C-alpha cells in the first residue's frame, strides 16, 4: 500500500478521547496496546501480499466466476464488521492477493461499507454511496460529529463504550452519533466493559435519547452487552424484530419489559442473559 502504517491507522491517536475514561493509567496502558495490535495486523497483511499474489495465479479458486468470488469476499467483510475490527482487513487482504482479486474487490461496493471515524477516504469512496456500517471504537464518540454524511447514511451502528467509575454517567449519545436522521438504520449494537480496579468498580454507561435519530430510522435489531442505561422508555425499543440484552448492570423491571414487548408486536427473537430482572 502507498500509505505508511502510521497513515493507515491515523484513527488510533488519542487527542480527542472522552474525559470519561476511568484513569490516565488505564488509558496509557490500553491505547498503546490497541495501536500496536492494529499496526501489527496491517504489517502482516503487507508481508504476506507477495506470497498470496504468487499463489493466486496457480490456485483453482482464481478460476471461479466474479459473482462467486465477490460473495466469498463479502463473508469476510461482514465478519470484520461483526467482530469490530479497526479496519476492513478482509477486503484489504483480498485486494492484495493478485490483480484479478484486486479488480473484483475494489469494484464491489458492498465490501467497503465498513466505516469508522477517521477512516481513509479511499475506502469510503469505494462503497459508492451504499448505506454504511458505522463503527465507533472507545474514545471516538466525539469524532462522530465530524462525519455527518456518514451518520445520515448508516445501516448499522456499533459502539464500544469505555467503562467509567461507579456512580458516574458516560457519554450522551443524543449529542453525537444518534442526533441525526438515519432512515436506513436497521441495527444498533452497544457493547461495553466491566471490571474492578483500585478506585472501585467500573462499567460502561451511556445516555439514550428519548427519540433516537430524530424519529427517522428503521431499527429492527438492538443488541446491548455489558453497558448500563436507564432509558427503558426510549423509542429505541419500539418496532423491533430482535432484542438481545446481555450483562446489563442496571435492573430491568418487569413492567418496563412488558412495555417493550407491547411496543414490539413483530418481535421474533428475544434474548436476556445475565440481567437483573426486578419485580
**Average pLDDT score, the chain:** 79
User: pLDDT confidence of 120, banded at 50, 70, 90?
Assistant: confident
Per the domain annotation, does 126 fall within a domain? no
Q: Is the pLDDT of residue 54 over 50?
A: yes
- pTM score > 0.75 for this model? no
Cβ distance 17 to 27 under 8 Å? yes
Per the domain annotation, does 119 fall within a domain? no
Better-predicted residue by pLDDT, 122 or 161: 122
Better-predicted residue by pLDDT, 190 or 28: 190
18 closest CA partner among 36, 37, 31, 7: 31
Please count the structural domains in the chain.
2
User: pLDDT confidence of 57, banded at 50, 70, 90?
Assistant: low
User: pLDDT confidence of 18, banded at 50, 70, 90?
Assistant: very low
Better-predicted residue by pLDDT, 91 or 249: 91
Q: Is the pLDDT of residue 105 over 70?
A: yes
Q: 169 and 258 in one domain?
A: yes
Q: Whose grid coordinates read 482487513?
A: 89
CATH of the domain at 237: 3.80.10
240 closest CA partner among 195, 215, 270, 211: 270
Q: What per-residue confidence (pLDDT) applies to 34?
A: 63
Q: What per-residue confidence (pLDDT) applies to 169?
A: 59
Q: What per-residue confidence (pLDDT) applies to 22?
A: 47
Q: Name which of 36-40, 157-161, 196-200, 241-245 the model is least confident about.
A: 196-200
Q: 275 and 138 in one domain?
A: yes
Bridge partners (DSSP) of residue 132 are 154
Q: What are phi and psi of 163, to 5 degrees?
A: -75, 150
Q: What per-residue confidence (pLDDT) applies to 81?
A: 93
Q: Whose grid coordinates read 467482530?
A: 83
Per the domain annotation, does 11 fall within a domain? no
Domain of 145, in residue numbers: 131-279
Q: Is the pLDDT of residue 192 over 50?
A: yes
Q: What are phi and psi of 267, to 5 degrees?
A: -60, 130
Per the domain annotation, does 69 fall within a domain? yes
Q: 104 and 174 in one domain?
A: no
Q: Is the pLDDT of residue 99 over 70?
A: yes
Better-predicted residue by pLDDT, 120 or 68: 68
Cβ distance 38 to 14 under 8 Å? no
At 167, list the grid cell. 456512580
- Which distant-in-sequence residues (6+ apart) come within 8 Å of 140 by Cβ? 11, 16, 116, 117, 118
Per the domain annotation, does 172 fall within a domain? yes
* Single residue among 87, 113, 139 that ends a domain in this structure: 113
- In angstroms and rounded to an integer, the radius of gyration of the C-alpha atoms of the chain is 20
- Average of pLDDT values for 129-140? 88
Q: What per-residue confidence (pLDDT) applies to 10?
A: 42
Q: 250 and 139 in one domain?
A: yes
**pLDDT tens digits along 218-233:** 999 999 998 887 777 7
Q: Is the pLDDT of residue 201 over 70?
A: no
Q: 267 and 182 in one domain?
A: yes
Q: 231 and 138 in one domain?
A: yes
Amino acid at each position: 500500500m502507498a500509505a505508511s502504517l502510521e497513515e493507515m491507522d491515523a484513527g488510533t491517536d488519542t487527542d480527542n478521547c472522552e474525559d470519561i475514561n476511568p484513569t490516565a493509567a488505564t488509558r496509557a496502558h490500553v491505547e498503546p496496546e490497541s495501536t500496536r495490535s492494529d499496526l501489527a495486523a496491517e504489517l502482516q497483511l503487507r508481508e504476506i501480499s507477495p506470497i498470496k499474489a504468487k499463489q493466486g495465479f496457480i490456485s483453482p479458486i482464481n478460476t471461479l466466476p466474479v459473482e462467486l468470488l465477490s460473495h466469498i469476499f463479502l463473508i469476510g467483510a461482514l465478519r470484520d464488521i461483526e467482530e469490530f475490527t479497526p479496519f476492513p482487513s478482509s477486503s484489504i487482504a483480498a485486494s492484495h492477493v493478485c490483480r484479478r482479486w484486486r479488480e473484483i474487490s475494489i469494484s464491489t461496493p458492498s465490501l467497503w461499507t465498513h466505516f469508522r471515524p477517521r477512516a481513509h477516504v479511499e475506502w469510503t469512496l469505494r462503497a459508492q454511496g451504499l448505506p454504511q456500517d458505522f463503527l465507533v471504537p472507545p474514545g471516538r464518540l466525539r469524532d462522530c460529529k465530524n462525519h455527518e454524511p456518514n451518520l445520515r447514511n448508516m445501516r448499522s451502528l456499533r459502539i464500544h463504550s469505555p467503562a467509567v467509575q461507579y456512580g458516574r454517567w458516560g457519554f450522551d449519545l443524543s449529542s453525537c452519533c444518534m442526533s441525526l436522521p438515519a432512515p436506513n438504520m436497521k441495527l444498533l449494537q452497544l457493547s461495553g466493559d466491566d471490571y474492578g480496579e483500585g478506585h472501585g468498580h467500573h462499567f460502561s454507561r451511556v445516555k439514550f435519547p428519548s427519540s433516537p435519530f430524530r424519529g427517522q430510522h428503521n431499527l429492527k435489531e438492538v443488541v446491548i452487552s455489558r453497558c448500563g442505561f436507564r432509558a427503558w422508555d426510549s423509542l429505541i425499543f419500539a418496532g423491533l424484530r430482535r432484542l438481545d440484552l446481555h450483562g446489563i448492570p442496571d435492573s430491568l423491571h418487569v413492567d418496563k419489559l412488558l412495555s417493550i414487548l407491547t411496543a414490539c408486536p413483530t418481535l421474533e427473537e428475544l434474548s436476556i442473559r445475565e440481567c437483573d430482572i426486578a419485580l
